[in-house]
Structure 1
């Protein structure tokens, strides 16, 4: 068992631990006709274009305490976008700021973020997709937040989940490398963690079913989340509930839940 960190470590040189959060979100909807699917993809392109994604990542940089060095962004034809931000750790961080960054408690909501700051790199890539037969359309965004130093990207979780209004969230957090204290002893992690869930807000925990797969000895933490309840009208693109028969609405809801479960469990479940 890897020895857990002590509260304050006097380091020899700088902290070169690399902490990486890989964060995948899925947004699912029902778009029955080809025209509705085109409208959905146009909506995704507008809602998740490079400009908005850059704003989200800039806010993430602020939350984790990072200075932005460079921004590269690109919208794609026919759809999709990518953003990469290079960041560096601030030269001096107070103990109070470090403690707030690495403690196992939820980070801020989107409306609480008001400024900009710094770290190593942040990336986002989007993947819109539509099924030609059953009306299900799925949008995926992959976000990586990788930091080198004393602060943790886990503080950005609450903000990302609420900014992207996710149906499914799949998260991986891992710590790599080591740093030495003044006595030469190696430290392979510098903050307490036994689950990514510790960094999620109570509201998020109420709204999602969650599953953990953690390898504590290797500092690898994995959490999957699936939305418990949803309002069907918010998932119908191009038409509303009043435009369908009741039996059709039940079938559509079954299709949406099946899609969510297959993504959550990572396997096909067969026909309805």
Structure 2
């Protein structure tokens, strides 16, 4: 853009939503593992990720100013959107927006471990807005846009604004938990834990899928091709992997 944006009605609160989404898969051979990575790389390429983020931008009532996207070799993709909050409205010969420094980014990290036959697809999404808009309202849409076995989320409000009397406001909306912004039917599928620091306006939630069906985690393998003992072993390995990612530490 050639011209600067004029700011008005300035709200100096910055709201940042960051979360990681993990999808775990089992593939019994190295070839199947690589095929899974290739499949994920195609399913979540930069074009589809751009569509997801532009829909998110529409949901929060913002305007896309610029899009930068990139697919990587051997795998992975990144997309960054520079957004303005509110509509771009003409005011004489200038364009007037609420703010021109908000952004939305997404990065993907497919990876696998041949010895465990487990592959993990991680999506990192960051939404930073300034002013009255809160990105929390987009959580259900984002969770539903990906296969989400484990989810970790952080929401932080920084800075301050003032009321009409000059009093500083360090939070302009009530938040007790990120879970308040996730649909009940979504939460029922997950074990969810909050770790919040209310004095710092910092909210953290992590979620792990309660029930897993083996057929949903096999790539190019039918569940009935596997003997019962193998099914139990695979289920155990999948659950151990998920628990460690959810816990953020090596347990087993």
Regarding TM over 0.5, the answer is: yes
Indicate the residue corresponding to 1:268 in structure 2.
250
Indicate the residue corresponding to 1:159 in structure 2.
141
In structure 1, what is the Cα distance between the partners aligned to 2:128 and 2:150? 22
Is the aligned partner of 1:146 residue 2:142? no
Is the aligned partner of 1:207 residue 2:189? yes
Q: 1:124 aligns with which of 92, 106, 110?
A: 106
Tell which has more relative contact order, 1 or 2 (C-alpha 8 A, sep 6+): 1
Q: Secondary structure at the match of 2:52?
A: helix
Q: 1:50 aligns with which of 28, 34, 46?
A: 46
Q: 2:59 aligns with which of 56, 63, 70?
A: 63
Q: CA RMSD in A?
A: 1.6
Shift of 1:230: 1.8
In structure 2, what is the Cα distance between the partners aligned to 1:32 and 1:91? 51
Indicate the residue corresponding to 1:39 in structure 2.
35
Matched residue count: 235
Shift of 1:238: 2.0
Q: Is the alpha carbon distance of 1:203 and 1:119 closer, same or farther for their aligned partners in structure 2, counting shifts above 3 Å?
A: farther
In structure 2, what is the Cα distance between the partners aligned to 1:49 and 1:91? 28
Normalised by the length of structure 2, the TM-score is: 0.90
Is the aligned partner of 1:16 residue 2:25? no
Normalised by the length of structure 1, the TM-score is: 0.84
In structure 2, what is the Cα distance between the partners aligned to 1:34 and 1:265? 27
Gaps of 5+ in 2: 1-7, 89-99
* Structure with the bigger percentage of helix: 1
Structure 1: 4+ residue segments shifted above 2 A: none
In structure 1, what is the Cα distance between the partners aligned to 2:58 and 2:158? 23
In structure 1, what is the Cα distance between the partners aligned to 2:189 and 2:178? 16
Indicate the residue corresponding to 1:79 in structure 2.
75
Indicate the residue corresponding to 1:101 in structure 2.
none
The answer on whether the counterparts of 2:17 and 2:155 sit within 8 Å (CA) in structure 1 is yes
Indicate the residue corresponding to 1:98 in structure 2.
none
* Deviations 1:207-226, CA, capped at 9 Å, x for gaps: 00000000011100000000
Indicate the residue corresponding to 2:91 in structure 1.
none
Shift of 1:143: 0.1
In structure 2, what is the Cα distance between the partners aligned to 1:16 and 1:149? 6
Gaps of 5+ in 1: 1-11, 93-117
Q: Secondary structure at the match of 1:164?
A: coil
* Structure with the bigger percentage of strand: 2
* Deviations 1:118-165, CA, capped at 9 Å, x for gaps: 981000011111012010110100000000110100011000111112
Matches within 5 A, 1:246-261: 246-261=228-243
The answer on whether the counterparts of 1:67 and 1:119 sit within 8 Å (CA) in structure 2 is no
